[in-house]
Structure 1
């Protein structure tokens, strides 16, 4: 009976940490602040996650199912040389991530990825290198097969530029600051068409 309760507490801490890291960034976050957000004692946070870095990495490990969904969708594409292969690759790249935006709690992770991708110190943490870069290489190779003949460096930079567009899609507050209208329902289709066009004509 104790195990499910303990797992529940770990998840409460993990989700609280996700929110705090997304708001304050890695360097601006403290374990004490996470404990307060989770409404638990600091000692319990340290018991389950021995350090801030361990807790930070645990968030991404827990959400690794998103990248697994992206890879599964990519690997299910029957023909990377087909006329619509780029559209299918982009769908695999963006759809599982955008699904996070449908739930306010899951959306915090999308915002956290935006923060980590844009943090110059991210190379000091084993998140992008270990949990994202192996997937990135598979997408880069898919781009190469679907769009042959591009110059050296195109596929790698195209992937990173696509990451930039995708992670910025979590900035819903920002886009609402730029217009009086609500364009959020257009985000999914516009993002897919934007990345696809950039890949085809870049």
Structure 2
């Protein structure tokens, strides 16, 4: 197998794993199920990723560019004490993630993040702690500068509540259950407005 073909197979496995993990969760997923979704032999999955945990972490490492984009936008804010600083922080936080929602293949990763963030066993895996929490601390520090004087704990919980709102936006299934529309056109603006209002007035 050429290096290019090998890289293509690896990417096929990663994409298949995103979908299966997003659908079935970490504990409900097997390497055999991922191999079937990717239409490759189980031995090839093991060859590339060794273990289920290794494959799971590799998905998030491959998608780390999303968090890098978020931090790049955060660092580009010229004045964290400007009147619209909170709006700029929220856009840096949500927009690179919302961009995933436009492609059905990328949307599986957004749904996987939702699943992992809500899994009580996520502290057993080096994903949130290693790949998300360093970024989270930078956003928390930015909120502290943009919204000084809030009570102790506000910035940490405010960030996590914002994560909850953002991750819930990964799927339109629930809103479709509640109405006959998904309101896709309004979703992004409503999400930004909701998080901004919560941070400003919380």
Q: 2: distance between equivalents of 1:134 and 1:67?
A: 10
Q: 1: distance between equivalents of 2:106 and 2:191?
A: 19
1:164-201 CA deviation, whole Å, 9 max, x = no partner? 00000012111111111231110000000000000000
* 2:134 matches 1:120: no
Number of the residue aligned with 1:37: 37
Mind listing any 5+ residue stretches in structure 1 that lack a counterpart? none
Q: 2: distance between equivalents of 1:115 and 1:193?
A: 24
Alignment check: 8 A CA contact 2:172 2:182 kept: no
* Greater mean deviation of Cα atoms: 18-27 or 1-10: 1-10
Number of the residue aligned with 2:92: 92
Mind listing any 5+ residue stretches in structure 2 that lack a counterpart? none
User: Following superposition of structure 1 onto structure 2, how do residues 3-152 of structure 1 map, counting pairs within 5 Å?
Assistant: 3-152=3-152
SS at match of 2:61: helix
* Greater mean deviation of Cα atoms: 184-193 or 173-182: 173-182
* Greater mean deviation of Cα atoms: 179-188 or 101-110: 179-188
SS at match of 2:102: coil
Tell me the TM-score normalised to structure 2 length.
0.99
Alignment check: 8 A CA contact 2:166 2:191 kept: yes
Q: CA deviation at 1:76?
A: 0.1
1:1-57 CA deviation, whole Å, 9 max, x = no partner? 800000000000000000000000000000000000000000000000100000000
Q: CA RMSD in A?
A: 0.7
1:110-163 CA deviation, whole Å, 9 max, x = no partner? 000000000000000000000000000000000000000000000000000000
Tell me the TM-score normalised to structure 1 length.
0.99
Q: 1: distance between equivalents of 2:39 and 2:175?
A: 32
SS at match of 1:82: coil
Q: 2: distance between equivalents of 1:176 and 1:76?
A: 36
